[in-house]
Structure 1
Amino acid sequence: MTSMPDFLHIDPTARRVSLDGRNPAFYSDPNRVYAALHQHCPTFFWEEQRQWFFTGYDHVNALLRDRRFGRQILHIASREELGLAEPAAHTAHFDLAERHSLLEIEPPEHTRLRTLVNRAFVSRHVEKMSGEIEELANRLIDRFEKDGQTELLSSFADIIPVTMIARMIGIPEEMGPQLLKWSHDYVGMYMFKRSRADEDAADRSAKEFADYVKTVIAERRANPRDDLLSHMIHTEHKGQFLTEDELVSTTIVLLNAGHEATVHQIGNSVRIILESGLDPAAMFADAATTERTVEETLRICAPVHIFQRWALEDVEVDGVTFKRGDKVSLILAAANLDPNKFTDPLTFKPERNEGANLSFGAGIHFCIGAPLARLELNIVLPLLFKRLPGLKIAAPPVVKDVYHFHGLERLDLRW
């Protein structure tokens, strides 16, 4: 039996849950709460969020693929019809940047955008970057190896994903720190209980980000290169080219999604490996064990926890009736801990081989950057432990208050 945390209140009969998403006891260790939800109430109405949530693996997996649900609703119904408020004026720049985001649109627009971008992210193209990833990781470790200690996020994890996605798209690498700042502000819009200050920062950064991307687009229009941005500008799909707004939205979402989650996952993975007390050399003995270890870290400490969907029609799921225009939430990280799918789910078992985790989603919105993220993790994690034998956690890691993302404030290591 899973003990119930005292800050979590579950009414299994009514399937209602009360939980403060900003409580450090929750976001620091959400897995304990997910275990209690699986035991008592895997499908529930979260009082504070005023929404239904699903945690069961089969439900989450099915709903991610269910075309009766989608990432947008205004393509089939008006705001008046659905009783939705008008967009806020102070987030107009953010809303414009999101309007054509791959994460937020449905077919046929989604199909057209994704088709243009997809080719760059398929495994065979991404794998050509292996040498570059390894070279960059080694160069970063060279800088701090002799110190006997480092703060891993700022010296390593922050740098690798943003550098690689910037190279791929065609953004100068020296923009890395600025991209990180814009991205952190931007994703603040997805946090629970965001403040007006968070919204203002996100809108300001969305405008600066978009203005910068437009300057790079103008350069690539005049002087195309062998990069993804040039490809998106100059390639047509069924006679159509991407508009300026579509190019800006797509570039921003690729830069954000291409590094934010992977930064978190490098930190989460190193932490879980070190706290397990298991031998890293055994986990990274060869390509097969490395791959299993990486997938197990993705399962047990996913970097993105929740994806939402709109009901596009009246529909019933697990005895809950949804009307067109209702929003539902799928907790990917909780689905990864479903005891009906994974044995002893709260235990880190690098040798585990019980099926796919849902950390990258599923269906038409499956993470386009998954091959790149997996490649980065499969290269940099073994390298880190090989180059720094005797790696230990030097100070208790603190989890960021950014739920529904999951990552560390910092990770202090010594060796």
Structure 2
Amino acid sequence: MTTPSCLTIDAARRNVSLDGRNPEFYSNPNAVYAALHARSPTFFWEEQKQWFFTGYDHVNGLLRDRRFGRQILHIAAREELGLPEPQAHLKNFDLAEQYSLLEIEPPEHTRLRTLVNRAFVSRHIEKLKPEIAALCHGLIDGFENKGEVELLSAFADIIPVTMIARMIGIPDEMGPQLLKWSHAYVRMYMFSRTKEDEYLADQAAMEFADYVKSVIRDRRANPKDDLLTHMIHTEHKGQYLTEDELVSTTIVLLNAGHEATVHQIGNSVRVILESGIAPEKLFADEAATSRTVEESLRICAPVHIFQRWTLEPAEIDGIEFKRGDKVSLILAAANLDPHKFTYPLTFNPDRNEGANLSFGAGIHFCIGAPLARLELNIALPILFQRLPNLRMDGVPTVKDVYHFHGLDRLDLSW
């Protein structure tokens, strides 16, 4: 196997040098992951100053290992860990993140997730099928006769943000603004982020929070049949969510509820078209569609990395970790582990080799996974059935947003 030129591996020391902003890497991360699996699946990434795991069993195990967590300041002080003080120019972003389901640990995580979880269980999500299908058909009606489309802006961007906003209780017309806030907000998670990105993210967090607070005030006065009203008025063991908790939870649901799914719609369409497999076979029935969706999630996951703090001393794959160490798990690479999946770089919806890890695992398993899966299982077959001669116009450009993975645009014609 040829090692990509952007990657240097010292297998003996398990050291890797790799520029996360190099287009050769973020345009085709699977090639890098394959080389890492072959030579050093557990490695210290010099540029990130952190240990990374790519093996399926290690990633799956660490996601469930309670010796590792999403936060650490609930058990240790900044001074003890040598962590810097919060930065003043990120105070709005930090406040919005303070009670994020993605960032907190039990017991707070258990309380917040219990209050939200009911809306996302499969039996409730299934009721959205007709609404999602109608939205998909309506969007395609708008461009079908043109013979060409930029799919992300005309289709992929709109479906997830519209559905999660409706569930929460935010009007459809706020969709474009929610997208702007979300895009600015999630730049904080990218390897390529700049100081300007940080200022823009903080501004977006402030505006986002102010808007959510205005909707909260309205729902307190005028309750409706939506998730935000449910979160405001439902108690758990005698406690209600505070306003800050409501804001954090609403923002994370809006961001996580659409950002990754937008990427995955584009990624899936691309990998399906590049596979050369007839869409009528891939979407022959619900079972075939589900296999196609899961295989696309495996081979081109939209979110690549989850990080964990070491909460107590632990040894993983011969590496000793002490409390306060940070480790990273590459979900997208675990999905390509040759010890788990045969010919892992090949798109093969007929494989039956176990679950992908694209939605994580353990207590932080993606709460919106049932919604994301339903949207993909409805949107993809409708798109290919309505536009049977679909083809890509040129090679799509991948966004410089590692560790997310998605396309800048996807130009299609038929």
CA contact (8 A) 2:91 2:202 kept: yes
| Match in the other structure for 1:99 | 98
Does the aligned pair in 1 maintain the 2:310–2:324 contact within 8 Å? yes
User: Contact (CA 8 Å) 2:298, 2:335: kept in 1 or not?
Assistant: yes
Q: Please name the residue that 2:154 is paired with.
A: 155
Contact 2:209 2:251 survives alignment (8 Å):
yes
Instruction: Output aligned runs, 1:209-358, within 5 Å.
Output: 209-358=208-357
| Aligned partner of residue 152 in structure 2, secondary structure | helix
Structure 1 CA distance for aligned equivalents of residues 394 and 221 of structure 2: 51
Letter in 2 for 1:334: A
CA shift for structure 1 position 3: 1.1
Count of residue pairs brought into register by the alignment: 414
Supply the distance in 1 between the matched residues of 2:187 and 2:117 (Cα, whole angstroms).
27
Aligned AA (2:50) = Q
Q: Provide the C-alpha distance between the structure 2 equivalents of 1:100 and 1:16, rounded to a whole number of angstroms.
A: 35
Q: Spell out, residue by residue over 1:200-232, the C-alpha distance to the aligned partner (whole angstroms, 9 max, x if none).
A: 000000000000000000000011100000000
Q: Please tell me the residue identity of whatever aligns with 2:98.
A: R
Give the Cα separation in 1 of the matches to 2:150 and 2:119.
Answer: 32
CA distance in 2, matches of 1:361, 1:146: 40
User: What pairs with 1:82-161 in structure 2 (closer than 5 Å)?
Assistant: 82-161=81-160
Q: Does 1:201 align with 2:200?
A: yes
TM-score (norm 2): 1.00
The amino acid that maps onto 1:132 is E
SS of 2:52's equivalent in the other structure is strand
**Which AA in structure 2 matches 1:321?**
E
Matches of 2:187 and 2:394, distance apart in 1: 26
Q: Distance in 1 between matches of 2:139 and 2:389?
A: 18
Q: Which runs of 5+ in 2 are unaligned?
A: none
Cα distance in 1, alignment partners of residues 241 and 66 from structure 2: 25
1:351-405 deviation per Cα after TM superposition (whole angstroms, max 9, x unaligned): 1111100000000000000000000000000000000011000121000000000
Runs of 4+ in 1 over 4 A off after TM superposition: none
TM-score normalised according to structure 1 size: 0.99
**Structure 1 position 392 matched with structure 2 position 394:** no
The residue identity in structure 2 corresponding to 1:174 is E
Residue 162 of structure 1 deviates from its aligned partner by 0.2
* Cα distance in 1, alignment partners of residues 184 and 126 from structure 2: 31
Q: Distance in 2 between matches of 1:262 and 1:52?
A: 28
What displacement does 1:189 show? 0.2
**1:365 aligns to what?**
364
Write out per-residue CA displacement over residues 250-289 of structure 1, whole angstroms, 9 at most, x where no aligned residue: 0000000000000000000000000111101100000000
Q: Are 1:169 and 2:168 counterparts?
A: yes
Does the Cα contact within 8 Å between 2:192 and 2:402 map onto a contact in 1? no
